[in-house]
Amino acid sequence: MASATRTARIGVDVGGTFTDLVLHDPGRNIVRTGKLLTTPDDPSEAILAGIARILREAALRPEDVHSVIHGTTLVTNTIIERTGATVGLLTTDGFRDSIEIGRETRYDLYDLFLETPALLVPRALRLEIPERVAADGRVLLPLDEPAVAAAARRLVEQEGAEALAVCFLHSYHAPAHEQRAGEIIRALYPNLPVSLSAEVAPEIREFERASTACANAYVQPLMARYLDRVQASLESMGFAGHLYIMLSGGGITSVREAKDFPIRLIESGPAAGAMASAFISRLAGIEHVVSFDMGGTTAKMCLVDHHEPNHKFDFEAGRVRRFQKGSGLPLKVSVVDMIEIGAGGGSLARIDAASGLMKVGPRSAGAKPGPVCYGRGGTEPAVTDADLMLGRLDPAYFLGGEMALDLEPVRRAFEARITAQTGIAVEQAALGVQRIVDETMASATRMHMAEKGKDPRRYAMIAFGGAGPVHAWNLARLLKIGRILVPLGAGVASALGFLVAPPATDMVRSYVARLELIDWARVNALFAEMAAQGRALLTEAGAAPDSIAFRPVAEMRHVGQGFEIPVPLPGLTLSEADVPAIRAAFFETYRDRFERIVEDTPIEALSWRLACSAPGQTIDLAGAVPQVASAGPPAPRAHRRVLFEGAGWQDCPVHDRYALPVGAELDGPALIEERESTCVVGPGSRVRVDRFLNLVINLP
């Protein structure tokens, strides 16, 4: 079939419990959604099965598909579970232990038995190379090339290294030694993955740069095999289009970049949800929203201001203590700034032996065996089991009726695991599970917003994920958020994020200088280099070269401070004449962050960033369902009793999501069911369907 007819695009989000899919074909005005259980042993099985099914439902062939955009949690899971490759590290003579020494700080000053994250590269696999470059780029000691070759041979042939990382002192400023070491290693072992810190994270601060390079090497072989397997499987089913991958920063990129820099996929899956929220907020015209994505394993919250999710340029992977900053491996990567907690539909409830109190999560039932109600061997009650017990879910309409839920085993599990130990009635125990998981999410969201100086009452909430619309009303009530948007296809909205995300990437170079002493010709050369590199990457990812936009940022601070803030710059080409505008932008950003400024202290820049992006696509979700002519208030298709905290059992009308026309209005309590999720509307609330088919819920 001619490539001109390939207009369909498919977004695929592989989660811990479910794999979500959205198909959009603008040429045929088709939108289809799909959801099926993840296959943990080989995630590609669920991907291929889901694509095959969604194509059948849309009456399309693999040859009709222009592109598949995919996001995965494989990178973060590999680091958390420590199942990556055996990695060797080549570093500057005398700096073998820098990644173990770290910042020489303790994330908990008073814990005498402090547990630190396990290193990805043990000491025996870290070898020193004679070479030395000064901070200003001068070569103090030339690279010992025979030592590089000898170290590579020892690590590969004697120690069994499957990938190598190279991190030399000050290579962010003068990368020549690292580049030459890479050439030597690749000449010896052409197929060996090699991660150079000056390519992976060309930024100041050696510890973070080394940690990022080692993490990249640690996941590189696994990700390369996985992406090759997915590509080969797609081709075997007749797919001849492009496979693109979601980056942690919310952009999409090529398979080649994903293989070269897999660490940039550390938050690939969660980022898609934030991009979906940004798209939905733009359509609805809402400037400030909390993105709430609750799936089967985790819940993710992100702030979206002015239709853009917040970003940050560092990340901690595999924290020993989930909410304790400093207890994980530091990575210098661009990520969507969000919090992720172990609160999902599969989060397990238990009675803590020490305190006798009920706990929920972070341990999850996952896809295997899943919650008790799935009938796949689960024996411990989970959040989904509690939702079923409370009447929030229809046992005959889960996944649109494809997967029947069984209530009786759930009741027995609550009796055995909770009631027998506490004496609490089964229904009240289920309500307790809901109360705990919702308050856990509310507390985490409050903390995240407080750290940024934001007030939840000034935000709306966009709720999605399989469990998000079930819990959004109560979560918003706890946060005192007055408005909730639930998009059509909320259960698979993360996969929608892949289709609306722009081709995008972030570039960075470090050059440290006081504002009044900056060599602007050098800065302009750095931006020109980054722009050329970004344009090449995005063109490979399917962007039209003339559509690519650039947003320059400098990371700046007062001289003597330990950390910097991102400051927008007036253009790609700068001169001394721009210094007053840059200084003013620094003070504006500083005041927004800290509510004060210090005008008489010198300012310096450390790193220069360039965000490169092309326009994303717009999707009209109205194509997902036939439009219904409005003929008065919609009639419910059933009624079901639901237990609400503080309101008792309520008789709730159950509405078919696909039968609600634009402009329809409902009063709570009510349940609105679609194939992949159920929206719970509490008492006293009012719901209307806006012109984009979002459910807009106004709380009392």
The pLDDT confidence band at residue 264, using thresholds 50, 70 and 90, is: very high
The pLDDT tens digits of the residues spanning 232-241 come to 999 999 999 9
Strand-pair partners of 681: 670
pLDDT of residue 370: 87
pLDDT of residue 452: 84
Name 389's Cβ contacts closer than 8 Å, sequence gap at least 6: 407, 410, 411, 414, 426, 427, 430
SS3 assignment, position 660? coil
- For residues 403 and 374, the answer to whether their CB atoms sit within 8 Å is yes
What burial class does residue 428 get, using C-beta atoms within 10 Å of its C-beta: 0-12 exposed, 13-18 middle, 19+ buried? middle
Cis preceding-peptide flag for 202 (omega within 30 of 0): no
pLDDT of residue 3: 42
Structure tokens at 403: 């997967």
Separation of alpha carbons 275 and 308, rounded Å: 8
pLDDT of residue 340: 86
The pLDDT tens digits of the residues spanning 346-377 come to 999 999 888 888 999 888 887 788 899 999 89
Q: Is the whole-model pTM more than 0.95? A: no
Separation of alpha carbons 487 and 527, rounded Å: 39
- For residues 476 and 442, the answer to whether their CB atoms sit within 8 Å is no
Separation of alpha carbons 347 and 386, rounded Å: 11
Separation of alpha carbons 410 and 404, rounded Å: 13
The pLDDT confidence band at residue 178, using thresholds 50, 70 and 90, is: very high
189 has a pLDDT exceeding 80: yes
Pick from 472, 509, 349: which is nearest to 414 by CA?
349
Q: What mean pLDDT is predicted for residues 500-516?
A: 92
- For residues 327 and 107, the answer to whether their CB atoms sit within 8 Å is yes
Instruction: Please give the single-letter amino acid code of residue 51.
Output: I
504 has a pLDDT exceeding 80: yes
Q: How many CB atoms lie within 10 A of CB 58?
A: 20
Structure tokens at 322: 């989930």
Separation of alpha carbons 129 and 96, rounded Å: 9
- For residues 680 and 392, the answer to whether their CB atoms sit within 8 Å is yes
Structure tokens at 653: 């009308």
Task: Determine the CATH number of domain 504-613.
Answer: 3.30.1490
Separation of alpha carbons 537 and 533, rounded Å: 6
- For residues 133 and 95, the answer to whether their CB atoms sit within 8 Å is no
Separation of alpha carbons 365 and 638, rounded Å: 31
Start-to-end CA span in the chain (Å): 55
548 has a pLDDT exceeding 90: yes
Q: What mean pLDDT is predicted for residues 42-50?
A: 88
4 has a pLDDT exceeding 50: no
Separation of alpha carbons 9 and 22, rounded Å: 8
Distances (CA, A) of 429 to 349, 350, 440, 503: 10, 11, 16, 47
H or E segment and range at residue 296: none
The pLDDT tens digits of the residues spanning 267-301 come to 888 899 999 999 999 999 999 999 999 988 889 99
- For residues 696 and 690, the answer to whether their CB atoms sit within 8 Å is yes
- For residues 36 and 386, the answer to whether their CB atoms sit within 8 Å is no
Kindly report the length of the chain.
700
pLDDT of residue 1: 32
Instruction: Please give the single-letter amino acid code of residue 651.
Output: D
DSSP string, 164-183: EEEE-TTTTT-THHHHHHHH
pLDDT of residue 414: 94
Separation of alpha carbons 91 and 620, rounded Å: 52
Residue carrying the six token digits 């039209």: 544
Pick from 692, 652, 690: which is nearest to 672 by CA?
652
447 has a pLDDT exceeding 70: yes
pLDDT of residue 596: 86
Separation of alpha carbons 544 and 539, rounded Å: 6
The pLDDT tens digits of the residues spanning 53-96 come to 999 999 999 999 999 999 888 888 888 888 899 999 999 999 99
Separation of alpha carbons 114 and 106, rounded Å: 8
Structure tokens at 350: 């238990």
- For residues 554 and 590, the answer to whether their CB atoms sit within 8 Å is no
Name 68's Cβ contacts closer than 8 Å, sequence gap at least 6: 9, 10, 11, 12, 51, 234, 239, 241, 242, 243, 244
Strand-pair partners of 686: 667, 698
> Please, what is the average pLDDT of the chain?
91
Distances (CA, A) of 103 to 186, 188, 306: 32, 34, 36
Distances (CA, A) of 140 to 135, 143, 199, 367: 10, 10, 22, 56
480 has a pLDDT exceeding 60: yes
**Percent over 90 (pLDDT), the chain:** 66
Separation of alpha carbons 153 and 159, rounded Å: 9
Structure tokens at 192: 């060996």
What burial class does residue 186 get, using C-beta atoms within 10 Å of its C-beta: 0-12 exposed, 13-18 middle, 19+ buried? middle
pLDDT of residue 291: 96
pLDDT of residue 87: 97
- Which of the residue ranges 189-203, 271-285, 621-635 would you say has the lowest mean pLDDT? 621-635
Domain boundaries, given as residue ranges, for the chain: 86-192, 504-613
Q: What mean pLDDT is predicted for residues 121-129?
A: 96
- For residues 400 and 489, the answer to whether their CB atoms sit within 8 Å is no
Name 619's Cβ contacts closer than 8 Å, sequence gap at least 6: 24, 26, 31, 279, 496, 499, 500
Separation of alpha carbons 617 and 30, rounded Å: 15
